[in-house]
Structure 1
């Protein structure tokens, strides 16, 4: 770790704390108290001894947040790629690329207490009460993996009054939105609340593979969520939650920066850069008759869920909560990880690997019991969680005719004669079954009037099984001498001389804990310090590599976090100032890289270290003006060299001292909200949020010295680039606060940065047929729109 970082971090923290002891006279206005459930208890944000940021429903609306990936522009230290592009999530630089169904996220996402195994299958955010971002391991509080942190989303609960709202909107690229909420009590003991959303938008990125086809990032989404609450008695509440969402549209595409020389000697070489408004959507392949076909950049998702919560207040001190849930999600779309991509309309496609469709399905069931107790001196809960999941993944690819020998033997004389592969030449269908059990608990002891101690513990056990239903894989070097693409597995049978089925089974267990002390140093100021641990189970590589063992598992991930911080309010509640400093050690941190000579990524483990400082300020400057500032500084590194071997030899996966992916050293978010009274005409409201991030790595790949087909790769090819995003909204509210008309804009400066980055290079499996190029996906450009809302009842 670079010791030079320490002075900066601790100086920043000291300067932040030095700003706090500000005296002020009593005022008639102050910041609203924020109540969170970060520790599975209702507490003031300022009483929670951990780093947590709460995003209100109003903050989400002011920033036109519709997808969970949008929150990365509201929470520093959180990196979340476009949800329509896979949704990679990292907190404090720790995350998991969503490659295959045999692994899980390091950050747990919960909606109304229900774990969401597939982060891409989270519907548009609507009727949200609050989003809580918990940084650092949360293993003793939540029922599933939370080695890096957790995001808890709470929707609005039913109430006993008739009320609701309707909101319609329009915007860039023919955006059309409708949202409706109806809170309807059926009787004194039966309450209901239902929200409905509809969102349709044309794509904002031109698809160079299909000039006359649909644009990329096209959206057609709808969702519905209902909460039905039965007040069975004064002590028992039963709630049924139902949700459904569906999405039809198009995926994003790869912006191509540079394409290598077509090898050898065909006289075709180019470098070409698309400006980001255009991209290669999904590639091309040959049909059975040899016709060149462009894949449709399809993206389809469906989500269904049901949950039952039963809460029993046994007496004034004890309560019992049971949460039962079932979830189903499916996704089908074009796979743009590799392929025969065109660089401009009508141009010859370049062979870079494979192109095809991918589909996945998740069926999950969970049951959790939680017994809680609270009195004046102690607050505790114990919980038991059972979770089972059946995940399926299907990959259907067209492999190119690889190698110049194949091209020449096929009678090719010009690049236009390239014999591309047919869809179905490579198939990989896998199934992963997970069974998980956990016992956990957390207790707060009030040692003195000002000193509390929190102790937590957790035991986890995970078991996973994997098998392959159908694997077909032939790729040619010369006609009639095709080689196996997956040499270790053919049609569900491993090729080890025993004809055993291609299936594997493994299990992992872990004991983790938490110990935190918090001390009230002033009436509205508390300091805390402690240590906490997190855990994530191991898994299997379901995207088979060309040379790897098909049933080999990878190890569990374990994190230990040391943290100290300050929670405080000053100036009679007008100023909030929070700070935290932390150091986290990761053992066998799971990351993904491609094996040399293979296009499939494998999961590896390596030790890593993350340290940083986080500052958060909110200031009620006047009765009508609120200012906010949040900052994160991270220093991350791998602690050892990690190598990976494949058909193309052995190479570094990561190097000692290399930064983790999606870990910006510095990120900050500043906001301002001003309400200008207009008398009987209502109020004019102005809101602006600016988020800035330094450049960060987008991939764990080590590209030092890598070159092919005339292209030399550098570390900058894997960087996001620094960027600033400005969101703003101007609203006119009626005096009775029922009508609101707004003009809004996101990314108003039209900043462009890399949302993900890829390199494709020729290898021993495919040969050297033009297979080297630099690609990336980009963020959403400037969007503007208007919306109108009306609230009734209440």
Structure 2
């Protein structure tokens, strides 16, 4: 076996230093020790570069739990995005269903990403630069590794690291000439092409270029037929994503280098599928049918993103060095999705989130390193400019249905009043059942006012029929004395509707000639966010066994944010019409500044060459912000709320998240061959910002809204790797977590008030089992990788769910996924052929419910995962 390929497998020679093995094991989880093998091959290597801690240091001195996924593991598992690798890291999950609204969940704490006024609880970095919300989910094109730091990282990373940090590190240009091209082909017409070329222009200037294109057809057929669309919005799960990067590195001298890189990212694919679970859906009771119906107009998810990054590294001497990084990233996104899960034009609702934003990020860092003392300090500055328009799109047919509901309320009130007067009781004493019975005698309540029979009955109950028929007789449409019937309504078209609209002064009552037109009400948000930070972190080696660490950071965040709701464009078609979902609002700005000092303190103790322990306490901070869909105009009539005590506009900013984490960990080698890391932690998170769909009184439709929650999280994480033979290794990673939470009162998506309360959740367990094997073959080399993922379902513990959620098929199932890949390389390792499979057990699960339209339109929905996928990949290296 060639030495180059031997370094590809998880092989740890027992003759090498066990101290070095323990150091490596503290960074790399069980099956991801490819890089560790490379380090151990050099017997004298006992320190590693931990870029997640922003300095070169002995990994034994990192006072937090750090996991890393290597380039080789990314390749062997066929991973192209963060949601492909979360299974390898305990305590880390990534929801990547919608690329532009994806989010990190760290130790049970997820991050709402739909609002540009807020921030995630876990910070994401790419090539040393902070990545906001819609920018953080990128393709793994030529990725060197991904590091995940769990627990608060407020000292070195500042805001939005209350629960941890995800650090993506691409490969840098090198003084060599090599490259590869690779094609992956599989189920649903998958076509994934990627390539890389690294070369030297001169003795001191190097260039690295790479690109990746990932395309795949959908796995559920969209059969929607609608008068609104000439074609549907695409099949569920359709993918279309490309990315490319060019980096140039110049070694100015032996102590100074600069790097300039340009990143390009383009996404254009079908929107996430809303699998309807209502009587009006394509398959009302079977979300796993091969067809669904989404009639969203011009639906799709897209993102155009570019970034330019400059990096300067300089060593003043053997102890002092500096790093400066400056980056400008900008992106435009659109995500228009179906919100009703049907193809019924009178139950239509979609949301279309457009964002046009940018961030200018800068950091100056200074390092000092000696045998007994290490220091890192610096300053950061960033400025974000954000613009988001959230379109709430419906149809005139749906608008008429909503107006019908308002008329039903008036009919009920009128019938109640009339009946109470007839029997001489207070109207409040008349049971609703009695009112419903009386209305049913006329074929009411009104389902849709464009139904001629129901509309005729409504006009007769309202007492409006006589005036209408007198007018129609006056203009010669009908003979005098003709009663109002469904035939008359059909014959006169919009006339009866226009008469009632004029008499009642309600322009939103209009006739069926306006069918199949769009009705949109738009939320418009703008913002400017400026963030500063200054930090210092110290590391002392007290003795051969003891080291201690401590650091502090001061962060300040200033946010200016605005809200505006535009008037529906349908008012240009029918003058006088006003918004029916949300009142129109003029632009209103608010400003607020938050600041916080965060820190950490830790110690490590080396028991012997095979075992060490560490303990740390750290605090984290996530900036406060503004809910883009919940503004100071929150009165039902759109008026501004004024504080009666101060006379000022009510401050609607939500509080920052603050966390403190206590952690104890072990790193070492058990029974001579099992590399083990584990940690115990206790995390207290105050004012967690939770995004829920809420429909408070006076609001016609549920919208994502931030509520605050206090949490206490206790957990245990374990990683183990057993090198059973020179060619066979097994791995195991697991986590057990218990969360106690206290949530403020809120209205859920059906308008039910969920009282303030405390929930004590049962322990939740997840694990991943892995196997890597290099079987003996006569020609070339072969590698087999298998992983099995188990995730215990904790959805039964969610607060505020409606009863209908309990009936979603397989929604409460535990997740069980089996994945595998077998590959062959020729003797000189220039050709590699791999066969792979994902979800080989073909297990199907439903995703989080969409209940935004459940109350007003009766249309709930969910999402579903992919079934089994298989394919082949071919790679040529040069």
- Structure 1 length normalisation: TM-score? 0.84
CA–CA separation in structure 2 for the residues paired with 1:560 and 1:201: 43
CA–CA separation in structure 2 for the residues paired with 1:470 and 1:760: 19
Is the 1:49–1:518 contact (alpha carbons within 8 Å) kept by the matching residues of 2? yes
Alignment of 1:163-242 (within 5 A): 163-210=178-225, 213=232, 214-242=234-262
Is the 1:121–1:329 contact (alpha carbons within 8 Å) kept by the matching residues of 2? no
Q: For 1:539, what is the secondary structure of its paired residue?
A: coil
Is the 1:759–1:773 contact (alpha carbons within 8 Å) kept by the matching residues of 2? yes
**Aligned pair 1:557/2:571, yes or no?**
no
CA–CA separation in structure 2 for the residues paired with 1:128 and 1:81: 20
Shift in CA distance, 510/314, structure 1 to aligned 2, threshold 3 Å: same
Matching residue of 2:757: 655
Matching residue of 2:607: 521
Matching residue of 2:527: 432
Which is worse superposed, 716-725 or 586-595? 716-725
Q: For 2:74, what is the secondary structure of its paired residue?
A: helix
CA–CA separation in structure 1 for the residues paired with 2:763 and 2:821: 27
Q: For 2:73, what is the secondary structure of its paired residue?
A: helix
**Aligned pair 1:582/2:582, yes or no?**
no
| Unaligned runs of at least 5 residues, structure 2 | 1-12, 22-32, 40-47, 408-446, 456-510, 636-640, 642-649
Shift in CA distance, 671/395, structure 1 to aligned 2, threshold 3 Å: same
Shift in CA distance, 537/382, structure 1 to aligned 2, threshold 3 Å: same
CA–CA separation in structure 2 for the residues paired with 1:370 and 1:404: 63
Matching residue of 1:566: 666
Matching residue of 2:177: 162
1:55 to 69, 78, 92: 69
CA–CA separation in structure 1 for the residues paired with 2:167 and 2:258: 21
Deviation at 1:201, TM superposition (A): 1.3
Alignment of 1:205-354 (within 5 A): 205-210=220-225, 213=232, 214-259=234-279, 271-275=284-288, 277-281=290-294, 283=295, 294-336=296-338, 338-339=339-340, 341-342=341-342, 348=344, 351=347, 354=349
Deviation at 1:54, TM superposition (A): 1.0
Is the 2:715–2:735 contact (alpha carbons within 8 Å) kept by the matching residues of 1? yes
Q: Deviations over 1:726-771 (max 9, x none)?
A: 11001011111221000111111122223332224565xxxx5xx2
CA–CA separation in structure 2 for the residues paired with 1:717 and 1:652: 25
CA–CA separation in structure 1 for the residues paired with 2:570 and 2:795: 33
CA–CA separation in structure 2 for the residues paired with 1:190 and 1:25: 40
Deviation at 1:481, TM superposition (A): 9.1
CA–CA separation in structure 1 for the residues paired with 2:517 and 2:378: 52
Alignment of 1:429-468 (within 5 A): 429-468=524-563
Shift in CA distance, 683/380, structure 1 to aligned 2, threshold 3 Å: same
Q: Deviations over 1:312-351 (max 9, x none)?
A: 1011101111010000112113133x34x31xxxx64563
CA–CA separation in structure 2 for the residues paired with 1:449 and 1:543: 56
Shift in CA distance, 621/412, structure 1 to aligned 2, threshold 3 Å: farther
Matching residue of 1:727: 819
Shift in CA distance, 396/25, structure 1 to aligned 2, threshold 3 Å: closer
CA–CA separation in structure 1 for the residues paired with 2:863 and 2:751: 29
Shift in CA distance, 785/44, structure 1 to aligned 2, threshold 3 Å: farther
Q: Deviations over 1:427-460 (max 9, x none)?
A: 1121121000111121111122211111011111
CA–CA separation in structure 1 for the residues paired with 2:818 and 2:594: 45
**Aligned pair 1:145/2:160, yes or no?**
yes
Which is worse superposed, 48-57 or 80-89? 80-89
Is the 2:532–2:557 contact (alpha carbons within 8 Å) kept by the matching residues of 1? yes
CA–CA separation in structure 1 for the residues paired with 2:533 and 2:110: 22
Q: For 1:756, what is the secondary structure of its paired residue?
A: coil
Matching residue of 1:665: 764
Q: Deviations over 1:398-455 (max 9, x none)?
A: 2332043566544555899798784353011211210001111211111222111110
Which is worse superposed, 479-488 or 313-322? 479-488
Q: Deviations over 1:334-393 (max 9, x none)?
A: 133x34x31xxxx645637x3242211220001101111010111111111001101111
Is the 2:218–2:239 contact (alpha carbons within 8 Å) kept by the matching residues of 1? yes
Alignment of 1:381-400 (within 5 A): 381-399=376-394, 400=398
Going by fraction, where is strand more abundant, 1 or 2?
1
Is the 1:84–1:120 contact (alpha carbons within 8 Å) kept by the matching residues of 2? no
Is the 1:357–1:397 contact (alpha carbons within 8 Å) kept by the matching residues of 2? yes
Deviation at 1:120, TM superposition (A): 5.2
- Structure 2 length normalisation: TM-score? 0.76
CA–CA separation in structure 1 for the residues paired with 2:378 and 2:796: 37
Shift in CA distance, 606/473, structure 1 to aligned 2, threshold 3 Å: farther
CA–CA separation in structure 2 for the residues paired with 1:412 and 1:116: 55
2:629 to 543, 552, 556: 543
Size of the alignment, in residue pairs? 715
Shift in CA distance, 752/654, structure 1 to aligned 2, threshold 3 Å: farther
Is the 1:109–1:150 contact (alpha carbons within 8 Å) kept by the matching residues of 2? yes
Matching residue of 1:643: 745
Deviation at 1:254, TM superposition (A): 1.3
Deviation at 1:84, TM superposition (A): 2.7
CA–CA separation in structure 2 for the residues paired with 1:82 and 1:122: 7
**Aligned pair 1:91/2:106, yes or no?**
yes
Q: For 2:53, what is the secondary structure of its paired residue?
A: coil
Q: For 2:84, what is the secondary structure of its paired residue?
A: helix
Deviation at 1:217, TM superposition (A): 2.2
Alignment of 1:624-773 (within 5 A): 624-638=727-741, 640-644=742-746, 651-652=753-754, 655-657=757-759, 659=761, 665-679=764-778, 681-697=779-795, 701-703=799-801, 706=802, 712-714=804-806, 721-760=813-852, 768=856, 771-773=857-859
Matching residue of 2:594: 508
Is the 1:81–1:756 contact (alpha carbons within 8 Å) kept by the matching residues of 2? no
CA–CA separation in structure 1 for the residues paired with 2:755 and 2:175: 57
Shift in CA distance, 218/443, structure 1 to aligned 2, threshold 3 Å: same
Q: For 1:731, what is the secondary structure of its paired residue?
A: strand
Matching residue of 1:15: none
Is the 1:121–1:302 contact (alpha carbons within 8 Å) kept by the matching residues of 2? no
Is the 2:142–2:210 contact (alpha carbons within 8 Å) kept by the matching residues of 1? yes
1:532 to 609, 612, 618: 618
Matching residue of 1:109: 124
Deviation at 1:277, TM superposition (A): 3.9
CA–CA separation in structure 2 for the residues paired with 1:118 and 1:483: 33
CA–CA separation in structure 2 for the residues paired with 1:57 and 1:673: 15
Shift in CA distance, 390/259, structure 1 to aligned 2, threshold 3 Å: farther
Shift in CA distance, 750/762, structure 1 to aligned 2, threshold 3 Å: closer
2:149 to 134, 141, 150: 134
Is the 2:272–2:337 contact (alpha carbons within 8 Å) kept by the matching residues of 1? no
Larger radius of gyration: 2
Shift in CA distance, 222/644, structure 1 to aligned 2, threshold 3 Å: same
Shift in CA distance, 66/483, structure 1 to aligned 2, threshold 3 Å: same
Matching residue of 2:645: none
Deviation at 1:649, TM superposition (A): 6.9
CA–CA separation in structure 1 for the residues paired with 2:586 and 2:796: 35
